[in-house]
Amino acid sequence: MAKEKAQKTNAMRILDRAGVPYRVNYYDCGEFIDGVHVADLLGQPYDCTFKTLVATGKSGAYYVFVIPVAETLDLKKAAKAVGEKSVELLHVKDIRAVTGYIRGGCTPIGMKKQYPTVIHGSVLGFDEIILSGGCLGAQIFLAPADLVKVTGAKVEDILTERGE
């Protein structure tokens, strides 16, 4: 469980209330570049380190997609997964207003609203995954099934094929 109460984020408080076991890793972030840079900095494998992307559908609804940090979201597969004709990624300047989080600190747990969430199927191949803890310099380690449960997510293939 998290040790530093002063730095608990909304995501951590939600996990605590839900009784979900997790670990927190606090690190010195400096200037955030991207999730791959953070994984490299901390010596973490890309395949079990996940990033959170937010998109808007043709209908105007918001959706959350969670994928391995070094991969690319396939917008057509993502749209199909949420029943939209198309989706486009939210502009960086709009992330905080929609989610309550900033770029680099965005996590699917505890956004301003619980948006429909889709997690890439590779998540099920791990006992534990890593994702943002809800602020820069914090990561949450938890079981994939717990992430699916707490976010109400669907698990689907939403990645671009390599070479596309």
At 123-155, the pLDDT tens digits run 999 999 999 999 988 999 999 999 999 999 999
At 26-39, the pLDDT tens digits run 988 777 778 888 99
For residues 97 and 31, give the distance between their C-alpha atoms in angstroms, rounded to a whole number.
Answer: 21
Instruction: Tell me the whole-structure pTM to 2 decimals.
Output: 0.92
- The answer on pLDDT for 62 being more than 90 is yes
Facing residues of 33 across strands? none
For residues 125 and 146, give the distance between their C-alpha atoms in angstroms, rounded to a whole number.
Answer: 14
Superfamily of domain 22-156, CATH level 4: YbaK/aminoacyl-tRNA synthetase-associated domain (3.90.960.10)
Query: What is the reported pLDDT for 2?
Result: 43
- The answer on pLDDT for 79 being more than 70 is yes
